Amino acid sequence: MIIDVSYWTRVFKNILYVVLLLVGLYLALKLSIFYMPFLIAFIISLMIEPAIKLIMNKTKLTRRSSSIIIFILVSAIILGSLTWILITLFSESSSLLQGLNDYFDKAYIQFQAFINHFDFDKVHLSDEILNVVQTSTGEILNTASNWLRNSLTGLINIVTSLPSIAICIGITVVALYFICVDKIYILDQIEHHLPKTWVRRIGRHLKELIQTLGGYLKAEASLILVSFIISLIGLYILQIIGFNIPYPLLMALFIGFVDALPILGSGSVMIPWAIICAINGDLNLGIAIIVLLIIMSVTRQLLEPKLVSKNIGVHPIFTLIAMYTGFKIIGIMGLLIGPIVLIIFKNIFASLIEQGVFKTIFDKK
């Protein structure tokens, strides 16, 4: 048997190349989490860069002066919003946590009332199956209660860890200032310390990644912001005019989070919420929530062509797989992070994917 040494050498090199890229991507993700304040500052700097250039062109100010003006405005907005959100989140989360058992007890009582009033003779269900359904419902509600309680407790712990939050926010703000003001100097230093071939390759890949991933993150940020603001204003208006909405900020954040997930949307939260309100006898609140959903949907349809480009070049089934994988590995946040990692994979392995991964590695040329 003759072994084709050159073929297997090429296969080994290709496999080693893929493995090294995967290891590098893993390390990059770990470092991005470790240096999260600097990553956030970098992302914000990319978002406000057009505003800095606009002021430079319109006023003829230097980059430093333009950057300081935008930095002050953005910092004031971010710090003010964070202060209000943290205080309100702590208040609403603590209140919801205290009354959590009452809510789930009411849900279980309503389900039992439904079981008692429903004519199961028409569907021919045995007593054993009914007992299983009742037992399973109690277990599901108990599991949901424990999960929600742990989530709220974790949220309160995060909000109350003021020293850590203050340090992270402070570092992010200072890093944002230096990135905006001294961008040219930072780029010059990177080019000075890296080989020219590295600079060209990293610059090319980073530019492509920023365009692809930046477009996706811009889309996600726009979706979250639009959905969050509209739902928050709408829920507060409903609360002011007398509807029973005790936790408007928590609900607005939840609606914005779900609306940002690929495939899902705000309707997957608001429609069941409206139905539950109607079943509980509060038909007016159910109608009001549907009206708010319609307003959100119409507004998004008008703004989406200008703000959002949902086409990230990935089929929905792969996006769904990425969401599920992220959820299984790191929990709820994995639903958002999974598609982001998928886009990074697609960008890094673009040439392999276009030619066929295994075909490129193992085909004899």
**Any idea which residue has 């990059």 for tokens?**
28
Residue 345 confidence (pLDDT): 76
d(CA 221, CA 57): 26
Tokens of residue 118, six digits: 């429903």
Residue 39 confidence (pLDDT): 85
d(CA 46, CA 74): 13
Tokens of residue 114, six digits: 């439904």
Q: What angle (nearest 5°) sits at the alpha carbon of residue 114, between those of residues 110 and 119? A: 170
Low-confidence ranges of the chain (pLDDT < 50): 308-309
DSSP reduced 3-state for 60: coil
φ/ψ (deg, to 5) at 266: -65, -30
d(CA 177, CA 151): 33
> CA torsion, points 233, 170, 155, 46, in degrees to nearest 10?
60
Burial class of residue 325 (count of CB atoms within 10 Å of its CB; 0-12, 13-18, 19+): middle
Tokens of residue 2, six digits: 């003759």
**Any idea which residue has 């936790």 for tokens?**
247
pTM of the model: 0.61
Closest by alpha carbon to 227, among 250, 249, 197, 259?
259
Pair 226, 298: CB distance under 8 Å: no
Torsion 329-335-340-344 (CA) sign:
positive
DSSP reduced 3-state for 232: helix
Tokens of residue 330, six digits: 């790191």
Burial class of residue 166 (count of CB atoms within 10 Å of its CB; 0-12, 13-18, 19+): exposed
d(CA 94, CA 100): 10
Q: pLDDT tens digits for 316-352?
A: 777 778 888 888 887 777 777 777 777 777 777 766 6
Pair 296, 231: CB distance under 8 Å: yes
Tokens of residue 343, six digits: 């886009």
Residue 318 confidence (pLDDT): 77
Query: What's at 49, amino acid-wise?
Result: E
**Any idea which residue has 């599991």 for tokens?**
143
Residue 282 backbone zone (phi > 0: left; psi -120 to 50: alpha; other: beta): beta
Using only C-alpha atoms, what is the Rg of the chain? 26
